[in-house]
Amino acid sequence: MFSNKDRSQFADLETPFYYYDLNLLQETLNSCTEAAKVYDFHVHYAMKANFNTTLLKKIRLAGLGADCVSGNEVKKALEMGFDAGKVVFAGVGKSDKEINESLDQDIFCFNVESIQELEVINELAAKKNKIAKVAIRINPNVDAHTHHNITTGLDENKFGINSWDLPACADTLKQCAQLEFIGIHFHIGSQITNLDVYKNLCIRVNEFSQWFEERGFVVKVLNVGGGLGIDYHHPEQQIPDFTAYFKIFNDFLEKRDNQEVHFELGRALVGQCSSLISKVLYVKNGKTKNFIILDAGMTELMRPALYQAYHQIENITKQDAAASVKYDVVGPICESTDCFGKEVLLQETQRGDLIALRSTGAYGEVMSSHYNLREELRFVFSE
């Protein structure tokens, strides 16, 4: 819930804007790093979740590395002071330009997603007389039990190298003199809340690690990705249980003494530290439907329109009153999918009331656009 001080501050600000609670972000980072330290696990922040400069400064100072999925994310991480030796570059479609620029920066590792990509990185590294460290992203065919649009570890997904292609992958690695194989990489999906899924992943990681070792490869790094979810329905339960999360991997991974375990967490770190604050432009009451029309739309928060994502919606002007009316909460964009929630039970709402869409720290700001020539995003930070 928002305090009276928050509501007073918001009343004087132009909407819509993203409100970031930097104290909560710091508490979340502390919880994660302390839990990871118990097992000497390495955590890279998944920059695709949010690359707001203010947040990145705190994340870097917490000692995390950076997990990047584009050349510009690699550039941004390095500009923000992340150690190149902690930067990993994933992504199913790395361009030659992106690979070349990352080779120049001597990043920690390329997470490679196809045999052809191995050949391309080897060729480009040879031209620079460089050795590129690579980890093989394997598609483990593990169901993450999450929304089908954010599942990435099944045979039907575009990501990673399938198990039946591993013999050819191993042959290619042996032929590529400019590549240094350092380990294997997995990422099975996003917004995973059932930790049993990670037990299944550990079993597959153990199998593939043994497979490579039996063929003479030294597996130094086990990169198990991320995907740990947050509680969108109860945003006050703000910090994920990192202790239970990391314990799963400690208990079920067959880690060798010479191996490192790496993670790529994004949403779990930043998801709960932000809310999108919007003002009610109009209320349309009908016979069967009531609509609240906000000044924020899918251009500010794409997730509900893109994959029917849920965000808790609160009338923070009337938060002390009882909720009694059901509304469809929509934005101003000229698209029928510009809807944040249907039949949302709220206090009786009026023009000018402030609405908070909670848990928007991940995949909120970064997915925004200027569709309909919308204005630049605005931000408010609280410490």
pLDDT tens per residue, range 334-364: 999 999 999 999 999 999 999 999 999 999 9
Segment 85-100 mean pLDDT:
97
Instruction: Note the pLDDT tens digit of each residue in 146-203.
Output: 444 434 434 456 678 998 999 999 999 999 999 999 999 999 888 999 999 999 999 9
Look at residue 150 in the predicted model and tell me its pLDDT.
Answer: 39
Instruction: Note the pLDDT tens digit of each residue in 39-71.
Output: 999 999 999 999 999 999 999 999 999 999 999
Q: How confident is the model at residue 21 (pLDDT cuts 50, 70, 90)?
A: very high
- Confidence check: pLDDT of 142 > 90: no
Lookup: tokens for 76 = 């941004």
Question: What's the Cα-to-Cα distance from 251 to each of 35, 120, 184, 200, rounded to whole Å?
Answer: 14, 37, 19, 12
Question: What's the Cα-to-Cα distance from 65 to each of 51, 249, 268, rounded to whole Å?
Answer: 13, 19, 15
- Confidence check: pLDDT of 76 > 80: yes
Look at residue 5 in the predicted model and tell me its pLDDT.
Answer: 80
User: The dihedral of CA 151, 154, 155, 158: what is its sign?
Assistant: positive
Question: What's the Cα-to-Cα distance from 304 to each of 15, 124, 308, 357, 360, rounded to whole Å?
Answer: 19, 40, 4, 11, 11
At what angle are helices 22-37 and 53-61 packed, to 10 degrees?
Answer: 30
Instruction: Note the pLDDT tens digit of each residue in 104-117.
Output: 999 999 999 999 99
Quick check: 25 and 45 in contact, CB under 8 A? no
Give me the percent of the chain exceeding a pLDDT of 70: 96
Report the distance separating Cα 98 and Cα 120, nearest Å. 12
Look at residue 140 in the predicted model and tell me its pLDDT.
Answer: 84
How many helices and strands (H and E) does the chain possess?
11, 17
Look at residue 114 in the predicted model and tell me its pLDDT.
Answer: 94
Average pLDDT over the chain reads 93
Cα angle 148, 154, 159; round to 5: 95
Q: How confident is the model at residue 287 (pLDDT cuts 50, 70, 90)?
A: confident
Q: What phi-psi label fits residue 252: left (phi over 0), alpha (psi between -120 and 50 degrees) or beta?
A: alpha
Amino acid at 267: R
Look at residue 8 in the predicted model and tell me its pLDDT.
Answer: 82
User: The dihedral of CA 153, 43, 122, 219: what is its sign?
Assistant: negative
12-41 in b/e burial notation, b at 16+ Cβ within 10 A? eeebbbbbbbbebbbebbebbbebbeeeeb
Give, for 281, the enclosing helix (H) or strand (E): strand 274-285
Domains annotated for the chain, with CATH where assigned, are 4-17+272-382 (2.40.37.10), 22-270 (3.20.20.10)
Quote the pTM value. 0.93
Using DSSP, state whether 9 is helix, strand or coil. Answer: helix
Q: How confident is the model at residue 288 (pLDDT cuts 50, 70, 90)?
A: confident
Instruction: Note the pLDDT tens digit of each residue in 291-327.
Output: 999 999 999 999 999 989 999 999 999 988 998 899 9
Quick check: 137 and 113 in contact, CB under 8 A? yes
- Confidence check: pLDDT of 231 > 80: yes
